């Protein structure tokens, strides 16, 4: 599949720049970090206006016929051709034609929108923004600018995909002007397309009547729209139904608006905190694709999450991660939403691979995933892939219906060397996953080979390794030593040795190895009086990905180091001599 990112025309960036330049009229009354509060909702409203223009008169006529009926939405959406409509007589053209009455006319115009648009405007808190524009005499100027030829956003000139790019760019600009980490709101498309192509690798969509896709932290819904785009590349006739939940009001508003424009059901875009206010309880989906926040605490959701964790069928019954990082909770939520044949791609940082000892919440979550054989693959990306962080990140691929050849196994792909450096960074993002990179990674995933290299190890490449699931597990045993009195005699109680807590130790025994045999081989030769307190044995799981792909590099030879030091000393001596000679002259 071709990466659409590389095909985005300059007109998209130019359009976003033109829209953002409306900020020139806002300087003074609005601070720079507030520009987006005006520009984002105005862009959405203008997009709605331009979409509805061809059917404006038809909707007006239909409204006069049905306005006395109890339920009129069906008639008017059919007339408009979209999942939304506007019954006001005003349009941007007529608003601009009457500057003296701009506030009352604009409010009449907004009030004419259907209820789903009203929800979008409410999430933008647009009413208070209008008041500020009226007070600063900027409302008319902003509307006039959006109504100019360069502000046109009709679907005949700007496709739904292009509009998604424009929204994405505007949100990034708003985030940067606000001083927020821009990447908190969206994932760049090079990474999204890698995730979609991994999810759809060898997917058989020929017999699918309807494919459902879910994003639990949808932002502006770009992951959903990219999934829909990619599915239609595989089968243009299959119906795709997208579902998403988002907690940020403005990005939720954009996502819902985008869904309405694309002809989907806006009721599938829902507002609320996924962890504490699950809007899709009881739903299951074919695909789940998400980039949830990581390194963020879940104190706000703690009460609701802990209550659900106590339920035998609750989303979080497998365990709870440390309170300072809730990303594993999103993995558990996604698993609870996967259909029996469902598949998920979710971005995580390194912590879920190994954090927490045996018996801890993080380890128990890994155990739950691995012992159910749901973990299909983990793909390590390079550093500097995201706008808001430079750390290493990983794509976890989970499947409720792994093919037989993947059963009981996990594929690890180190793609940390598979990137192309950007000419200009965006925040922390300095590296891109190009078409070539993505093709190498998807090929590695699809061919499913152990110890296989894809690409050139001297440059861009990725490496695939296959492991039995059991290899990630271990039994943590507690080794006790006897307490001794001052004469060196073993202290006993009820005929049994008393354990000396100061000599207590632990050992991690591979899960596929007999504990007693390990103990006899690794412990007893060095501590003949030791024993295992078997009541304290715990099962743990970790995925030490770095260790699996570690390559030993011989240290620099002594002769080479001496030669290098001598060279440096010679350079320094030469520089000092030149300096002293200059001063003496």
146 has a pLDDT exceeding 70? yes
Task: Give the pLDDT of residue 176.
Answer: 64
184 has a pLDDT exceeding 70? no
33 confidence band (pLDDT: 50, 70, 90): confident
Q: Which CATH architecture has domain 4-178?
A: Up-down Bundle (1.20)
Least confident of 89-98, 280-289, 563-572: 563-572
pTM, two decimals, is 0.87
CATH of domain 181-348: 3.40.50.150
185 has a pLDDT exceeding 70? no
CA distances from 45 to 33, 48, 514 (A): 21, 5, 67
Residue-wise burial string across 462-489, b where 16 or more C-beta atoms lie within 10 A, e elsewhere: bbbbbeebbbbbbbbbbbbbbbeeeeee
Choose between 236 and 412: higher pLDDT. Answer: 412
1 has a pLDDT exceeding 60? no
Task: Give the pLDDT of residue 456.
Answer: 92
405 has a pLDDT exceeding 90? yes
The mean pLDDT value of the chain amounts to 91
Torsion angle of alpha carbons 484, 488, 494, 497, nearest 10°? 50
Task: Give the pLDDT of residue 207.
Answer: 76
Residues in the chain: 585
Q: Are 428 and 361 in contact (CB under 8 A)?
A: no
Q: Which residue from 121, 148, 132 is spatially nearest to 48, judged by alpha carbons?
A: 121
In the β-sheet with 338-348, what is the strand arrangement from edge to edge? 269-271, 239-246, 210-215, 285-290, 338-348, 394-399, 375-380, 409-417, 461-468, 452-455
Q: Which residue from 320, 331, 258 is spatially nearest to 291, judged by alpha carbons?
A: 331
Task: Give the pLDDT of residue 585.
Answer: 61
Q: Break the chain into its structural domains and give their ranges.
A: 4-178, 181-348, 472-545, 557-585
Q: Which residue from 188, 191, 166 is spatially nearest to 254, judged by alpha carbons?
A: 166
- As given in the structure block, the two tokens for residue 496 are 């049994």
Q: Where are the alpha helices (DSSP H) in 326-462?
A: 327-337, 351-354, 361-371, 435-447
583 confidence band (pLDDT: 50, 70, 90): low
State pLDDT tens for residues 461-508: 999 999 999 999 999 999 999 999 998 899 999 989 999 999 999 999
Most confident of 6-10, 33-37, 411-415: 411-415
108 has a pLDDT exceeding 50? yes
Distant-in-sequence contacts of 63-69, Cβ < 8 A, 24+ apart:
63/87
Mean pLDDT along residues 286-309: 95
Task: Give the pLDDT of residue 208.
Answer: 73
What count of other Cβ atoms lies within 10 Å of the Cβ of residue 22?
Answer: 21
Task: Give the pLDDT of residue 178.
Answer: 55
What count of other Cβ atoms lies within 10 Å of the Cβ of residue 164?
Answer: 24
């Amino acid at each position: 599949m071709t990466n659409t990112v590389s095909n985005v025309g300059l007109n998209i960036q130019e359009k976003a720049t033109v829209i953002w330049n409306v900020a020139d009229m806002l300087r003074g009354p609005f601070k720079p970090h507030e520009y987006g509060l005006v520009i984002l909702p105005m862009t959405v409203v203008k997009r709605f206006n331009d979409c509805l223009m061809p059917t404006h008169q038809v909707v007006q006529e239909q409204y006069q016929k049905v306005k006395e009926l109890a339920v009129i939405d069906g008639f008017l959406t059919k007339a408009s051709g979209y999942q939304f409509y506007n019954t006001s007589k005003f349009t941007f053209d007529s608003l601009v034609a009457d500057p003296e009455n701009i506030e009352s006319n604009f409010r009449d115009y907004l009030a004419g929108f259907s209820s789903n648009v009203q929800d979008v405007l409410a999430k933008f808190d647009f009413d208070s923004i209008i008041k500020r524009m009226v007070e600063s005499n900027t409302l008319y100027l902003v509307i006039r600018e959006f109504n100019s030829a360069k502000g046109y956003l009709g679907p005949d000139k700007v496709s739904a995909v292009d509009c998604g790019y424009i929204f994405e760019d505007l949100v990034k600009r708003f985030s940067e002007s606000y001083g927020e980490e821009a990447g908190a709101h969206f994932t760049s498309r090079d990474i999204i397309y890698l995730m979609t192509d991994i999810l759809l690798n060898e997917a058989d969509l020929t017999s699918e009547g309807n494919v459902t896709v879910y994003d639990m932290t949808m932002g502006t819904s770009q992951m959903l729209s990219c999934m829909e785009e990619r599915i239609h590349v595989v089968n243009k006739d299959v119906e795709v139904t997208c579902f998403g939940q988002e907690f940020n009001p403005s990005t939720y508003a954009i996502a819902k608006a985008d869904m309405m424009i694309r002809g989907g059901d806006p009721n599938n875009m829902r507002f609320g905190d996924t962890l504490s206010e699950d809007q899709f309880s009881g739903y299951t989906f074919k695909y789940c694709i998400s980039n949830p926040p990581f390194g963020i605490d879940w104190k706000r959701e703690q009460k609701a999450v802990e209550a659900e964790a106590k339920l035998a069928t609750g989303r979080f019954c497998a365990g709870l991660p440390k309170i300072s990082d809730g990303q594993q909770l999103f993995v558990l939520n996604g698993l609870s939403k996967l259909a029996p044949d469902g598949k998920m791609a979710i971005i995580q940082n390194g912590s879920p691979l190994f954090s927490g000892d045996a018996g801890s919440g993080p380890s128990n979550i890994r155990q739950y995933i691995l012992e159910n054989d749901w973990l299909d693959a983990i793909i390590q990306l390079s550093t500097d892939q995201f706008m808001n962080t430079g750390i290493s990140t990983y794509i976890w691929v989970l499947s409720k219906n792994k093919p037989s050849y993947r059963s009981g196994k996990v594929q690890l792909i180190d793609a940390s060397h598979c990137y192309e450096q950007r000419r200009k960074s965006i925040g922390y993002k300095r590296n891109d996953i190009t078409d070539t990179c993505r093709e190498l990674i998807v090929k590695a995933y699809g061919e499913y080979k152990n110890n296989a290299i894809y690409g050139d190890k001297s440059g861009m490449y990725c490496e695939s390794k296959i492991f039995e699931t059991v290899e990630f597990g271990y039994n943590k045993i507690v080794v006790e030593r006897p307490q001794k009195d001052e004469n060196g005699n073993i202290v006993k109680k009820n005929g049994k040795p008393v354990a000396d807590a100061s000599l207590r130790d632990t050992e991690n025994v591979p899960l596929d190895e007999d504990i007693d045999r390990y103990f006899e081989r690794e412990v007893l030769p060095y501590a003949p009086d030791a024993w295992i307190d078997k009541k304290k044995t715990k099962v743990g799981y970790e995925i030490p990905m770095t260790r699996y792909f570690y390559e030993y590099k011989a240290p620099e030879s002594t002769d080479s180091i001496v030669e290098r030091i001598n060279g440096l000393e010679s350079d320094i001596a030469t520089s000092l001599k030149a300096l002293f000679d200059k001063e003496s002259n």
